[in-house]
């Protein structure tokens, strides 16, 4: 009876976690290969400093640019953000306030183990006009006089013959600004289930058709619950 209860609790916990994940708001889609984590490093921006870089848009219906940053000031840092089209037309000119990038105290013991958690960085969303296409030029100008250093992140462009064609910073031609582009209107993760399944199949061998990978994942989850119940209720060994 106790094992049945443990099974029920395990299945209920998995169902609750899965439901919470599927109801989370996620972007429609994200760009690919925009950050090189091998050579990532801090890129300080002092007061009055400028960073300029072209940002290729990988598909239609762009939503925003997510810009990671690191800031510890008592008051927000202020950055003028200009977006210019490939034809030189000004698409947007706004001032963004970048607050303390540290997570709240109750969230600091948790995280996803990513480089951004290690750097205690936050992301700032810069909205893109939905009609933008091709590429846009992003220009960041720090306009505040707050003490402390506002930090963005950059990666080194790989030398030939790597085939790395990503646009680099105008101010630092050997580096490119680390950022993420997002496309489509954000919505519930459950609406992207077909996308998740298709990406899962890109990681599996071609001889493993649908729904074999999904069944294997289900079997792994069931085996985990079974082993948990066996270990939980197995009698202690006498020495």
Q: Which residue has the higher pLDDT, 229 or 237?
A: 229
**Pairwise pLDDT comparison (184 vs 52), residue with the higher score:** 52
What are the residue ranges spanned by the domains of the chain? 2-23+190-230, 29-185
DSSP summary character for residue 214: H
Q: State if pTM tops 0.75.
A: no
Task: Find out if CATH 2.60.40 is the number for domain 29-185.
Answer: no
- Kindly indicate the confidence band of residue 109, based on its pLDDT and cuts at 50, 70 and 90: very low
d(CA 75, CA 112): 27
Q: Is the pLDDT of residue 234 over 70?
A: no
Nearest CA to 135 out of 157, 167, 164 is that of 167
Distance CA 108, CA 83 (A): 33
Question: Which tops the pLDDT comparison, 235 or 30?
Answer: 30
Read off the tokens for 158: 């790989």
What does each C-alpha distance from 52 to 8, 114, 183 come to in angstroms? 55, 26, 22
What is the C-alpha to C-alpha distance for residues 118 and 48, in angstroms, rounded to an integer?
28
State the burial class of residue 148 (Cβ atoms within 10 Å of its Cβ: 0-12, 13-18, 19+): middle
Report pLDDT digits (tens) over 152-204.
Answer: 999 998 777 766 778 899 999 999 999 999 888 777 777 777 776 676 667 66
């Amino acid at each position: 009876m106790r094992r049945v209860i443990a099974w029920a609790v395990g299945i209920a916990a998995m169902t609750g976690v899965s439901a919470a994940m599927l109801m989370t708001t996620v972007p429609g889609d994200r760009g690919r290969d925009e950050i090189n984590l091998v050579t990532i490093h801090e890129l300080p921006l002092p007061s009055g400093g400028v960073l300029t870089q072209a940002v290729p848009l990988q598909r239609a219906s762009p939503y925003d640019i997510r810009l990671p940053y690191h800031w510890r000031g008592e008051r927000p840092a202020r950055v003028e953000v200009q977006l210019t089209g490939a034809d030189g037309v000004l698409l947007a000119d706004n001032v963004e306030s970048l607050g303390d990038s540290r997570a709240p105290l109750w969230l600091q013991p948790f995280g996803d183990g990513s480089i951004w958690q290690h750097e205690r960085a936050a992301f700032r969303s810069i909205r893109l006009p939905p009609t933008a296409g091709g590429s846009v030029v992003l220009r960041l100008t720090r306009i505040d006089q707050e003490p402390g250093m506002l930090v963005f992140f950059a990666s080194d462009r790989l030398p030939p013959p790597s085939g790395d064609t990503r646009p680099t910073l105008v101010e630092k031609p050997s580096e490119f600004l680390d950022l993420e582009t997002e496309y489509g209107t954000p919505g519930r993760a459950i609406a992207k289930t077909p996308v998740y399944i298709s990406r899962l199949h890109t990681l599996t061998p071609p001889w493993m058709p649908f729904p074999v990978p999904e069944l294997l994942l289900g079997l792994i989850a069931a085996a985990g619950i079974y082993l948990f119940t066996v270990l939980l209720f197995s009698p202690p060994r006498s020495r």
